[in-house]
């Protein structure tokens, strides 16, 4: 584990990673944003798993800011960085256990100390790096953490601006890293604040799923365990599964009801009521454009749009389709027991 394994990353990306986590932690401390602690823990855990070269924040900076403002490469110890990220993820996990385990006050104090440690690490003194250096020296591998270690002389912590080897020699990197980290932290804060506001809104309680909804959903899903029973009991499946011959027979029956003479009816001439082969659409999200062969009764009238509006406003309401100046009544979703009621509604609207 303590073998030196060099890896090269952009200086700007490395600084962006350190500054971002530190700033996000301070925002979490100041505004008590527990979700932001989860984000920091996830970032450190992924950085430990993926290694520093493919860490999330370093990858983000490399694909965006680094292309606009290229920086020199920085050689780091991959094993040492993984050790630091793993230790950070463990501490963040402990912090989350305190926050969600009933010791919230202790958790926020712990996070304050953790944020202070991350800030010191961003400024050049990494406690995990010191620990790894000691372990490495004991293992005979030597310390390779000069970029993260506290300098031997305190004056070297903030080298001159014109120094080529100083961590803070170029103030442009400060601006890049702090702006990028600040925008990321603000975005996370705004997102979590929006979610929290939605959670506390009165409509969230009014529209949330309750026991009755869950019971109805449970009953529906149990029907699907028996496909034959589902075809019989679920109206949509029953309508989709009706054979075309049955739909044609319904259309013939409706045509006869519209054209036959009866005491309570004002029949339509047979020449204006015909059958038409058409397609029905299942709709919904799973089958938005799936076409199902069907048969419709077509009624040729003078003002089809006005009659369709009258049918929709009637009692019972009838929804039909206007096509080529004709009213089309698709019979796939109409039951046999509803045919007479449908015929009466159409004739009443025409009267």
Please classify residue 69 by burial: count the beta carbons closer than 10 Å to its beta carbon, then call 0-12 exposed, 13-18 middle and 19+ buried: middle
Verify that 197 and 282 share a domain, yes or no: no
Please check whether residues 29 and 163 belong to one and the same domain.
Answer: yes
Q: Residue 176 has what pLDDT?
A: 52
Count of beta carbons in the 10 Å neighbourhood of residue 194: 10
Q: At residue 225, does pLDDT exceed 70?
A: yes
What pLDDT does residue 215 have? 92
- Examine the domain organization and report whether 124 and 258 are in the same domain: no
| pLDDT reported for residue 204 | 80
- d(C-alpha 71, C-alpha 169), whole Å: 13
**Structure-model confidence comparison of residues 251 and 262, the more confident one:** 251
Residue 196 lies in a domain: yes
Q: At which of 182, 205, 228 does a domain end?
A: 205
Residue where the block lists tokens 């096509």: 323
Phi, psi of 74 (to 5 degrees): -120, 130
Whether residues 13 and 145 share a domain: the answer is yes
* Percent with pLDDT over 90 in the chain: 13
Tens digits of residue pLDDT in 327-338: 999 999 898 889
pLDDT band at 302 (very low <50, low <70, confident <90, very high): confident
3-state DSSP call for residue 227? helix
126 against 219, higher pLDDT: 219
Q: Examine the fold and report which residue of 205, 225, 258 is the final residue of a domain before the chain moves on.
A: 205
- 162-186 pLDDT tens trace: 444 444 444 455 555 555 556 666 6
Residue 271 has pLDDT above 90, yes or no: no
Q: Is the pLDDT of residue 295 over 90?
A: yes
**pLDDT of res. 161:** 43
**Using only C-alpha atoms, what is the Rg of the chain?**
36
Full-model pTM: 0.42
Q: Are residues 249 and 138 in the same domain?
A: no
Closest C-alpha among 127, 148, 146 to residue 14:
148
Q: What is the pLDDT of residues 8-28, one digit of tens each?
A: 898 888 888 888 898 989 898
In this structure, are 191 and 315 located in the same domain?
no
The two structure tokens encoding residue 67 = 């292309």
Q: 198 and 252: one domain? A: no
Mean pLDDT of the chain: 79
- Per the structure, the complete domain to which residue 48 belongs is given by 6-205
pLDDT value at 349 more than 90: no
CA neighbor of 161 nearest in space, from 153, 170, 152: 170
Residue 186 · residue 31 · CB < 8 Å: no
- DSSP states of 266-279: -PPPGGGEEEEEEE
Q: Which position has the token pair 């599964």? A: 241
124: left (phi over 0), alpha (psi -120 to 50) or beta: left
Q: Are residues 182 and 301 in the same domain?
A: no
Report pLDDT for 298. Answer: 92
């Amino acid at each position: 584990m303590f073998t030196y394994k060099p890896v090269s990353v952009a200086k700007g990306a490395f600084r962006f990673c350190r500054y971002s986590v530190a700033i996000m932690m301070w925002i979490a401390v100041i505004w008590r944003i527990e979700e932001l602690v989860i984000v920091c823990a996830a970032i450190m855990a992924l950085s430990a798993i993926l290694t520093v070269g493919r860490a999330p924040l370093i990858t983000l900076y490399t694909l965006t800011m680094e292309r606009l403002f290229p920086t020199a490469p920085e050689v780091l110890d991959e094993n040492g960085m993984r050790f630091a990220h793993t230790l950070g993820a463990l501490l963040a996990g402990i912090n989350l256990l305190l926050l969600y385990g009933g010791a919230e006050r202790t958790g926020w104090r712990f996070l304050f100390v953790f944020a202070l440690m991350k800030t010191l690490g961003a400024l050049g003194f990494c406690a995990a790096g010191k620990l790894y250096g000691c372990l490495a020296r004991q293992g005979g591998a030597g310390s390779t953490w000069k970029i993260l270690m506290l300098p031997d002389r305190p004056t070297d912590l903030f080298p001159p601006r014109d120094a080529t080897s100083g961590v803070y020699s170029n103030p442009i990197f400060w601006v890049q890293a702090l702006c990028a980290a600040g925008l990321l932290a603000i975005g996370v804060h705004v997102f979590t604040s929006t979610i929290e506001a939605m959670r506390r809104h009165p409509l969230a309680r009014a529209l949330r799923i309750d026991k009755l909804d869950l019971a109805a959903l449970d009953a529906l899903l149990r029907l699907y365990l028996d496909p034959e029973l589902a075809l019989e009991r679920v109206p949509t499946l029953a309508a989709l599964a009706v054979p075309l011959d049955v739909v044609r027979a319904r259309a013939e029956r409706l045509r006869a009801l519209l054209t036959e003479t009866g005491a309570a009816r004002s029949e339509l001439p047979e020449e204006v009521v015909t059958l038409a082969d058409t397609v029905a659409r299942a709709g919904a999200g799973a089958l938005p454009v799936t076409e199902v062969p069907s048969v419709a009764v077509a009624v040729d009238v003078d003002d089809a749009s006005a009659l369709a509006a009258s049918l929709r406003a009637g009692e019972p309401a009838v929804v039909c389709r206007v096509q080529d100046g004709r009213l089309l009544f698709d019979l796939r979703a109409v039951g046999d027991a509803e045919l007479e009621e449908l015929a009466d509604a159409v004739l009443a609207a025409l009267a």
